[in-house]
Amino acid sequence: MLKWLAAFGLLLVFAYAIYQMNIYVQFRYQRRDDNDNVFIRVYAWRGILSYVIKVPVVQVDWQDEMLWFESEMKETKGNKRINTVFERHLIKKVVDFILYHPRRFRRLIEKFRTKLLQTKLIVRELHNKVRFDRFHCQVRFGLEDAAATGMLAGAFWMLKGLVSNTLRNQMTSGVCPVFTMTPVFGKDILVIDLECILRIRLGNIIKALYKADKQGGNNRG
């Protein structure tokens, strides 16, 4: 009997530790010389558990007289693949699917509506649970027209104020968002270096997923 109680106690301690575990997401976006680099890292337990995705190249390509976006993606295990956001003939396949399979298309739309509703519920549930441990943004921008650069600077400062007010209540205690915006007159330039680290408890994620699935199921019924 004591062994069962001890095992049950250990199970409760383990479940509580999992519930309280923080999940960290590090996001970094850099733009220099028309090259875009995206770095995403998800980790926990001080990096013992970690998953990394790198998207070092984002470019525009013309294929079949249509505009496509391509990126080269690298993952933690070293896998690399070319990802095309819009594959060739995708539009034609979608049209054929709508015309020749209308019932399946309606079911697909209904599933999409349900998933969208669940996503909104998850975002609403987690909105106040996310905390930012770091938010650094450095921007250098400019146009050849000095007046246009001044107008762009005003728009950037408005955006800075909006983001600052939005993040203020979600920053970790003692941490403030950092923005550096430098206008460059007489030159076309846009350099961005954005890095943020956010954290959320795994228990809050599980709770939000459970509520979204339950409410989504009720809405389907």
Q: What share of the chain is helix, strand, coil (3-state, %, to 5)?
A: 45, 40, 15
In the predicted model, is pLDDT for residue 69 greater than 60? no
Q: Give the global pTM.
A: 0.67
Alpha-carbon torsion, ordered 146, 151, 153, 154, to 10 deg? 150
Note the pLDDT of residue 66: 47
Helix, strand, or coil (residue 138): strand
Q: Mean pLDDT over residues 79-96, rounded?
A: 58
Choice between 70 and 7, residue whose per-residue pLDDT is larger: 7
Cβ neighbours of 149 (radius 10 Å): 20
Report the distance separating Cα 105 and Cα 99, nearest Å: 9
The mean pLDDT of 164-183, rounded to a whole number, is 84
- The per-residue pLDDT for 199 is 92
CA angle 125, 128, 130 (to 5 degrees): 100
With residue 205 as reference, give the H or E element that holds it. helix 202-220
**Which pLDDT score is estimated for 168?**
80
Give 64's contacts (C-beta < 8 A, 6+ positions apart).
Answer: 88, 89
Q: At what angle do helices 202-220 and 102-126 cross, to 10 degrees?
A: 140
Q: Which residue from 199, 206, 195, 205 is spatially nearest to 170, judged by alpha carbons?
A: 199
pLDDT tens, position by position, 88-118: 556 667 777 778 888 888 888 888 888 888 8
75 sits in the region (left: phi over 0; alpha: psi -120 to 50; else beta) called beta
**Three-class secondary structure of residue 104 per DSSP:** helix
At 152, the pLDDT band (50, 70, 90 cuts) reads: confident
Q: Tell me if residue 166 falls in helix, strand or coil.
A: helix
Contact 212, 121 (CB under 8 A): yes
